Structure 1
Amino acid sequence: MLSIFKKKFYLKDQLEGFIDIHNHILPGIDDGAAEVEDSLNLIHKFKEMGVSNFVATPHIMNDYYPNTPFTINAALDKLRIALEGSGISDVQVKAAAEYMMDHSFMELLEQEPLLCLHQNYVLVEMSYFQAPINLNEILFTLQTKQYKPVLAHPERYAYLHSKNLERYEDLKRRGCLFQLNILSLIGHYGSNIQKAAFALLDKGMIDLIGTDTHQERHLEKLANARLPKKRIEQVIPVIERTKELFTPAFS
């Protein structure tokens, strides 16, 4: 007989009413949905799991996706118009951005208000190869301008991995919130990323959670994702905290 301790539970069962604060569902502006039809298909699959509120976060990455508030809001308008004509109801999509902390990010900080997830929470990411040389300066500047940096998928930066998590602890001391990618928990990005995700959960260092959905296969994996009871119990408070923080944006 299968032991209760080995039984796994579906992650999707915890997502009813979830607000996805990290995804790439806006059409045609980054490596996510290519066309508005792709956006609608993603939203339809999200709704099957009980998710109907989204903060879309297209990349702003100078060398690859030089998006601006104008291009992002234009894509958002296109999606909203398509939603109205699609028969998909009870869906709200707002727009922010996922900012790459690269050589041009400091210039953006000085030139214009950033597109925030909600209030002053701003989603940022780093290269997967190395942290920016001026990372501490960037984090300091964000906070002096009254932004709260939310580091996307901290578990995916292999150069931060260590047994005692001291590099993560340093980022937390510098005011970073951590947003976990939910698919990291089932090994979608590899076993080392999964181990880092579990270690951060074990230490209580994860603040928020998102899907980082780019394409349908991500949602297909999420629909079938299962975790042991211990991990589900660790994830539930993070899901609830994410809902609590962002629900006012959709009221």
Structure 2
Amino acid sequence: MIDFHSHVLPGIDDGSDCVEESLEMLHTAKNQGVSTMLATPHFYAQDVSVDHFLEKRKKAYDTLKRCMDNSDCPDIRLGAEVCYFRGIGRAREIEKLCIEGTRVIMVELPFRQWDEEVLRDVEELMEKQNVSVMLAHIERFYAYQKRKKIWKEVLDLPVIFQVNAEFFDGRKKRKLIKKLVEENRPVVLGSDCHNTDRRKPNLDMGYSFIREKIGQNAVDEIEKVSVEILEK
């Protein structure tokens, strides 16, 4: 299993507080069958430059890597959870925040009603920056979208949908993910783990639910898409 969303790097955002907590998170994920975990700390353009963020991320990763026992930890691939901002599609150096070794960037859209500008910014990000967009935890935004036309237009974009493993905690969320999977849209799972308490690694729960409620074929397709993304 590949965990596409985690806050496992120590001391860089609201995720892991220290190396010891990060190691416990990694061991938990490994025991669940996670082979690769993407470290995707929050990036807020209003607070930090791209280069400064990358320096902080490298420092946090290097600190963790020195303490890792690779036999008990998944591989780590570096990325970022880029918080949406107006004009993101035209932002300089934004492509540096792509998942390591790919042209895929994870974007967290705003927790509010989306509008035409949000739609246009995502389109520009793909067209002007020549990147593929992965929308973080897509299921968490449904409740904010009263203008279903905009919601549908965003879902119709050629993006990758990252889903959090606990999506099954709501009927509408389950229905959305089932629809995306059955339509053969590119879906990947992430734990969005932040700590070892309330938001711990739980990717196995998401996979188990999909296997039980949708079927093994859906699991196989998600795993296939996941591997293909990291090999781009």
- TM normalised by structure 2 equals 0.80
SS of the aligned residue for 1:157 comes to helix
Q: Among the aligned pairs, what percent are the same residue?
A: 25
Report the counterpart of residue 29 of structure 2 in structure 1.
46
What is the deviation of 1:222?
A: 4.9
**Match of residue 196, structure 1, among 176, 183, 188:** 176
**Match of residue 215, structure 1, among 195, 218, 222:** 195
SS of the aligned residue for 2:15 comes to coil
Report the counterpart of residue 7 of structure 1 in structure 2.
none
Report the counterpart of residue 100 of structure 1 in structure 2.
83
Structure 2: 5+ residue stretches without partners: none
Q: Which has the larger radius of gyration?
A: 1
Q: Which residue identity is paired with 1:197?
A: I
Counterparts of 1:159-198 in structure 2, within 5 Å, are: 159-160=144-145, 167-184=150-167, 186-187=168-169, 190-198=170-178
CA 173–131 in structure 1, closer or farther in 2 if over 3 Å, else same: same
Give aligned pairs, total. 223
CA 133–72 in structure 1, closer or farther in 2 if over 3 Å, else same: farther
Q: Which residue identity is paired with 1:155?
A: E
Report the counterpart of residue 62 of structure 2 in structure 1.
77
Counterparts of 1:134-153 in structure 2, within 5 Å, are: 134-143=117-126, 144-153=128-137
Q: CA RMSD in A?
A: 3.0
CA 192–174 in structure 1, closer or farther in 2 if over 3 Å, else same: closer
SS of the aligned residue for 1:155 comes to helix
Report the counterpart of residue 97 of structure 2 in structure 1.
115
Q: Is the 8 A contact 1:180 1:206 kept in 2?
A: no
Report the counterpart of residue 5 of structure 1 in structure 2.
none
CA 245–19 in structure 1, closer or farther in 2 if over 3 Å, else same: same
What is the deviation of 1:129?
A: 2.1
Q: Which residue identity is paired with 2:92?
A: E
Q: Which residue identity is paired with 1:212?
A: D
Report the counterpart of residue 8 of structure 1 in structure 2.
none
CA distance in 2, matches of 1:148, 1:20: 18
Q: 1:119-169 deviations in whole A, cap 9, x for unaligned?
A: 10000011222336621332232122111111111111123479xx75454
Q: Is the 8 A contact 1:53 1:91 kept in 2?
A: yes
SS of the aligned residue for 1:180 comes to strand
CA distance in 1, matches of 2:7, 2:47: 15
- TM normalised by structure 1 equals 0.74
Q: Is the 8 A contact 1:126 1:132 kept in 2?
A: no
Structure 1: 5+ residue stretches without partners: 1-17
